Amino acid sequence: MRLVPSVTASFVLLVSMAAFAQEWIEYSSRADLFFVNFPVQPQVRDISYTSEFGATFPARVYAAEQGRSQYSVTVVDYTDAERIHTERAKQCHPLAHSGCAGSEDPDGVQGAGSWKYERAGAVDFVSFNVLRRKAELTYFGWAAIDRVAGRYIHLTNPDRSRTFFAVYMHEDRLYILEATVPAGYPEPGLFQQSLRFLDKAGNPARYEGIYSNGYPPPPRAGGGRGAGAGANPPRN
């Protein structure tokens, strides 16, 4: 008889957790080619993103809140990077000491060819800026979703809330997932690990080998969910 209260409490907790999970929605963006779970319908706004080399790229932020928890996906569109950098190099003074100056060499580190280097370092540039925050770094490592390579970064903020980042680049789009939860709350796995990359037909893109943006993609895998890495256990 003494076990009844404990069993009842456990049952109520499970029901509450199930109800909590059911409140989340499955959200997909055909414009930015991704799928993710959000607690509510996100607010969407267009922004300008300043890159490592000082170029301006179009970007979009999808943001949602649940109580004191905050969730966002920022997508930066690098698909037109070559044109943006070429035009920028034309407008830059030839004697200027900046990333836009340089020759018209299509493979140059500066000038018209700098887009290749900037695209290659986009994930690390985001990671660098996250690591500069005034917070305690609790995890930093390589990660993958559907074998698309990226980074996981976990921070503990001065108020003991925690912020979780996941950064990926797929088909020249940079994806930055950020979730902040209050102290004592569980990690936002339902958000962070639900990410999927979509092709132009709206189908999930999953690969047989590791995908690195800017290199020839490996063959697509048929069906199944992607594998997490680093701080999250593999799901293959």
Q: Report yes or no on 37 lying in a domain.
A: yes
Mean pLDDT confidence for 185-210: 94
Q: Residue 115 — very low, low, confident or very high, per pLDDT cuts 50/70/90?
A: confident
Q: Residue 6 — very low, low, confident or very high, per pLDDT cuts 50/70/90?
A: very low
Per the prediction, the chain carries an average pLDDT of 83
| The predicted structure's pLDDT at residue 222 | 72
| The predicted structure's pLDDT at residue 106 | 60
| Domain span holding position 41 | 22-81+122-197
DSSP characters over 183-223: TTPPP-HHHHTT-EEB-TTS-B--BSS-B-TTSPPPPBPPS
Share of the chain above pLDDT 70, in %: 76
Token pair in block for residue 234: 């593999």
Q: Report yes or no on 13 lying in a domain.
A: no
Which residues, including other chains, have CB under 8 Å from residue 78's CB and lie 6 or more apart? 57, 115, 119, 122, 169, 172, 173, 174
| The predicted structure's pLDDT at residue 136 | 97
Alpha helices in 42-147 (DSSP H): 81-91, 114-120, 122-131
Cα angle 126, 44, 176 (rounded to 5 degrees) comes to 20
Q: Report yes or no on 152 lying in a domain.
A: yes
Residue 93 has pLDDT above 70, yes or no: no
Share of the chain above pLDDT 90, in %: 65
Q: Report yes or no on 14 lying in a domain.
A: no
pLDDT tens-digit series, residues 14-40: 444 444 455 899 999 999 999 999 999
Residue 173 has pLDDT above 70, yes or no: yes
Higher pLDDT, 169 or 4: 169
* Residue 7, number of CB atoms within 10 A of its CB: 9
| The predicted structure's pLDDT at residue 234 | 33
Paired with 139 in beta bridges are 154
Q: Report yes or no on 55 lying in a domain.
A: yes
Computed on alpha carbons and rounded to an integer, the radius of gyration of the chain in Å comes to 21
Cα-based distances in Å from 177 to 36, 79, 119, 205: 10, 19, 18, 18
- Domains contained in the chain, number: 1
| The predicted structure's pLDDT at residue 230 | 39
| The predicted structure's pLDDT at residue 92 | 72
CATH value at residue 135: 3.40.1000
Residue 99 has pLDDT above 90, yes or no: no
Q: Report yes or no on 214 lying in a domain.
A: no
Comparing 4-18, 119-133, 200-214, the range with the smallest average pLDDT is 4-18
Mean pLDDT confidence for 180-199: 95
Q: Report yes or no on 168 lying in a domain.
A: yes
Q: Report yes or no on 110 lying in a domain.
A: no
| The predicted structure's pLDDT at residue 11 | 41
